[in-house]
Amino acid sequence: MCGIAGYVGPRNAVEVVYDQLKRLEYRGYDSAGIAYRDNGNIAVIKRAGKLSELGKMLGEVPTDAHQAIAHSRWATHGAPTDINAHPHYDAFENVAIIHNGIIENYLDLRDELMSRGHTFHSQTDTEIAAHVIGEEYDKGVPLEEAVRLGVKRLRGAFAMVVVSKREEDKIVAVRNASPLVVGLGEHENLLASDIPALLPYTRRVVIVEENDIVVLTPERVRIVDGDGRDVPVVEQHIEWDIAAAERGGYEHFMLKEIHEQPQVIRQAIAGRIDEQGHVRLEHVFSEHVWSDIDRVNIIACGTAYHAGLMGKYLFEKLLRLPTDVYFSSEFRYGDPILSPKSLAIFVSQSGETADTLAALRLCKERRIRTLGIVNVVGSSIARECDRTIFTQAGPEISVASTKAYTAQVTVLTLLALYIAQIQETAGVRVKSWVDDLVRMPELAEKCLLLEPQIEQLCRRIKDTNLCFFLGRGADAYVAMEGALKFKEIAYIPTQEQPAGEMKHGPLALVQQGVVAIFGATDPYHVDKTMSNLKEVQARGGTILAITTENDSIMEKAAESTLKIPACSHPFLTALLSAIPYQLIAYHVARLNGHEIDQPRNLAKSVTVE
C-alpha cells in the first residue's frame, strides 16, 4: 500500500529518493519521510500530508548524503501524523526503518519490549519492528543478519527497508508478501515498491522473492533467503517507455489511462489471435484440462470484481459453464464449497491485493486449479497462480482503475472464446467474436470522441446528491463499474443494480433532482429498460441514457443520450460503454474540483486486509 524507495551511490541520495516517492505517490499519500546519512548518524525528516509537505523540508537537508531510504504512507496503525510517519528508529537510533504492510503481532511484541524498558514515540507497528530489529543489531551482527533474525519474530505481511549508523553505504530490505523491486545501476543501486520509481535511473531490475533479504551497496546487490543462504540475483530488463509511467501530457493519470484504452485493447489481444482468426493463449492449461472443468469461481475485489461479473455473464451465456463471482474478502473467510474439478480465476490489476492473494492461497491449499488474470508482471498473484494470463495494459497509476478493467474483460472474453474453440461449443461463432475484438480499438476511439459532449452534460449533473446506475444483462454489470468510478472520485452517493430491481425498493429514493444513468446498449433488453426509465422519470429523476448509434427508442425519452458504436456482439458494446461512464465520473469530479488521481481515503494497491 505504501510507497518505499531507497538509493545508495554517488548522487544526491535525498533528491533521488524524493523523486522516487513522487513516482510512487499513488501507493499511499497521507504522510512521507526520508532517512539519510548525516555525519555518521542516520537523520530523519518526515511530515504528515501530501508529499509536497515533505518537499518543503528538503532545503534543510545536506546535499552530500549518498545513502537514503524514503516512504510515503497510507495509514493502517496510528493516524497520519508527523510522528507516525516513517522512517522509525530503534531504541538507540542505531537503525531506521520504513515499512509497507502490517505487523499482526505488534501488540504482543510491544508488551514484550516494554517489559524490557523500551519506550515508543508513535502508535505504529513499524516502530515496534524497528525496535525488534534494533535489539538483534545490538548483538553486534551485520545488518542483514539483524533483519533476518528480527523478521523471524514478526508476523504479518510486509516489505521493510533498513539502514544503520554502523554500516555506511548499506541498505537492507526484506520482502514478505509485499512487493519490492531492486534497480541495478553503475556504481549505484536502488530499491522501490514498484517499477515506475526505478525507470528514470535504470531498466535493469530484480524482483525480490518472498522471504528473501536483499543487501544493497553501491557496487553490489546480494540476496539471501530466510536461512541466510545466498540466492541468485535474477536480472530482468524493463521495456516500458518511461513516458508510459508518467502522465504523458494529460492533466491526470486517470484521463491518460482512459484515453489509452484503444491501445490497451490492442495490447490485450496482441499475439493472441492468429491469422486464421483463432484465439491462441499461451501458458494456460493444456487442452484436456478445460474439458475436465465443471465450474468456475472468479475471485477479485473492486473493479476487478466487476470485470469478474462480466466473465460470469460470458462463461454462462457462451459456454454454459456454471460460474460464480466472489469478493475475495468474503471468499477467503466464507468456507467456500469447491469442486475438485473447478477452476478458480483471480483477477487483479496489481497482483498484490491482500484478500485476493489470501483467497488464492486457500485454493492452492485445497488443490484447486488456479488461473490469474493480472496486469503486473512479477506480482505475487501472477507468480503464485498455476497459470497466469497477463492483461498487458501497462502501468496503471490512477487509483480509480479504468484501463485495467477494459483489459481484464477483454482477456476474459479471449479466454471464453479459447475454451469455446477447444470444446467446439455449439452456437459460438468464434470468428465473428474475433472480428469484433479486432475492431474494438477503433470503436473505443469513437467512444472517446464523446468527451466534449460528456463534459457539457456533466455540468448539468455535477450537483446532484444521488445518482442511479442502471441497466440489464451485461449493461447492468458495466453500470456497477460506472457507479464505483463515480463514488470513488466524484464522492456522490450512487445506487446501482439491474434496472428491473428498481421497483423492489430503490425506487423509493427517486425524487426531483436525482440523476439516473441507464446503460441500454443491448437491443434485447431495450424495451424493458425503457419501462424502467419511465418509472424513474415519472418520479422526477433526470435521465441520461448510454445507448448505441442504432438506437431510436431511448433517445426519445431520455433528457440526454450518449451514443456509442455498436459491435455485432452486444456484450462487447456493453464493454465499450465503460468509457463514457469513466469520462462522466472524471468530468464531474474535475468540475467539482476534486483530487482525481488520489481520491480521499483510497490507495491504489490494497496490500492489507
Q: Which residues, other chains included, contact 52 with Cβ-Cβ below 8 Å and sequence gap of 6+?
A: none
Cβ proximity to ligand M6R, 299 vs 420, nearer residue:
299
Binding footprint of ligand M6R, residue count (CB under 6 A): 16
Cβ proximity to ligand M6R, 89 vs 253, nearer residue:
253
Determine, following the binding rule CB under 6 A, whether residue 399 of this chain makes contact with ligand M6R: yes
Stretch of 45-53, 175-183, 246-254, 397-405 lying at the interface with ligand M6R (CB under 6 A): 397-405
Burial of 462 (0-12, 13-18, 19+ CB in 10 A): middle
Residue choice 189, 193, 350, 497 for contact with ligand M6R (CB under 6 A): 350
Determine, following the binding rule CB under 6 A, whether residue 310 of this chain makes contact with ligand M6R: no
Stretch of 150-158, 398-406, 468-476, 555-563 lying at the interface with ligand M6R (CB under 6 A): 398-406
Nearest-approach distance from CB 199 to ligand M6R, in angstroms: 20
Whole-angstrom Cα distance, residue 499 to residue 533?
Answer: 8
Whole-angstrom Cα distance, residue 44 to residue 65?
Answer: 12
Determine, following the binding rule CB under 6 A, whether residue 497 of this chain makes contact with ligand M6R: no
403-423 and 302-319 are packed helices; what angle lies between their axes, rounded to 10 degrees?
20
Stretch of 145-153, 217-225, 314-322, 399-407 lying at the interface with ligand M6R (CB under 6 A): 399-407
Q: Which residues, other chains included, contact 111 with Cβ-Cβ below 8 Å and sequence gap of 6+?
A: none
Residue choice 31, 72, 348, 497 for contact with ligand M6R (CB under 6 A): 348
Determine, following the binding rule CB under 6 A, whether residue 607 of this chain makes contact with ligand M6R: no
Determine, following the binding rule CB under 6 A, whether residue 353 of this chain makes contact with ligand M6R: yes
Helices first, then strands: H and E counts in the chain: 20, 25
Determine, following the binding rule CB under 6 A, whether residue 400 of this chain makes contact with ligand M6R: yes
With residue 11 as reference, give the H or E element that holds it: none
Bridge partners of 6? 69, 191
Stretch of 127-135, 144-152, 189-197, 346-354 lying at the interface with ligand M6R (CB under 6 A): 346-354
Cβ proximity to ligand M6R, 201 vs 390, nearer residue:
390
Residues in the chain: 609
Q: Which residues, other chains included, contact 582 with Cβ-Cβ below 8 Å and sequence gap of 6+?
A: 254, 258, 400, 402, 482, 485
- In terms of DSSP H, where are the helices of 366-429? 380-384, 403-423
Residue choice 356, 464, 494, 548 for contact with ligand M6R (CB under 6 A): 356
With residue 460 as reference, give the H or E element that holds it: helix 451-461
Determine, following the binding rule CB under 6 A, whether residue 349 of this chain makes contact with ligand M6R: yes
Determine, following the binding rule CB under 6 A, whether residue 413 of this chain makes contact with ligand M6R: no
Whole-angstrom Cα distance, residue 108 to residue 272?
Answer: 52
Nearest-approach distance from CB 307 to ligand M6R, in angstroms: 8
Whole-angstrom Cα distance, residue 596 to residue 403?
Answer: 15
Cβ proximity to ligand M6R, 135 vs 481, nearer residue:
481
Stretch of 86-94, 387-395, 396-404, 412-420 lying at the interface with ligand M6R (CB under 6 A): 396-404
What grid cell was written down for 138? 545490538
Q: Which of 2, 301, 363, 447 is catalytic?
A: 2
Residue choice 144, 488, 496, 522 for contact with ligand M6R (CB under 6 A): 488
Whole-angstrom Cα distance, residue 272 to residue 288?
Answer: 20
Would residue 363 show up in a list of annotated catalytic residues for this protein?
no
Q: Say if CB 497 and CB 506 are below 8 A apart.
A: yes
Determine, following the binding rule CB under 6 A, whether residue 379 of this chain makes contact with ligand M6R: no
Whole-angstrom Cα distance, residue 336 to residue 339?
Answer: 10
Nearest-approach distance from CB 302 to ligand M6R, in angstroms: 2
Residue choice 20, 124, 380, 401 for contact with ligand M6R (CB under 6 A): 401
Q: Say if CB 411 and CB 389 are below 8 A apart.
A: yes
Helix/strand/coil for 95: strand
Torsion of Cα atoms, 182 then 67 then 173 then 114, to 10°: -160
Determine, following the binding rule CB under 6 A, whether residue 546 of this chain makes contact with ligand M6R: no
Nearest-approach distance from CB 316 to ligand M6R, in angstroms: 22
Nearest-approach distance from CB 386 to ligand M6R, in angstroms: 18
Whole-angstrom Cα distance, residue 9 to residue 400?
Answer: 35
Closest-CA residue to 294 (of 332, 248, 234, 339) = 339
Whole-angstrom Cα distance, residue 338 to residue 23?
Answer: 41
Determine, following the binding rule CB under 6 A, whether residue 410 of this chain makes contact with ligand M6R: no
Would residue 341 show up in a list of annotated catalytic residues for this protein?
no
Determine, following the binding rule CB under 6 A, whether residue 176 of this chain makes contact with ligand M6R: no
Determine, following the binding rule CB under 6 A, whether residue 127 of this chain makes contact with ligand M6R: no
Cβ proximity to ligand M6R, 1 vs 502, nearer residue:
1
Max CA separation in the chain (angstroms): 80
Binding map of ligand M6R across residues 287-306, x = CB under 6 A, - = no contact: --------------xxxx--
| Binding residues for ligand M6R (CB under 6 A) | 301-304, 348-350, 353, 356, 399-401, 484, 488, 605-606
**Catalytic residue numbers?**
2, 604
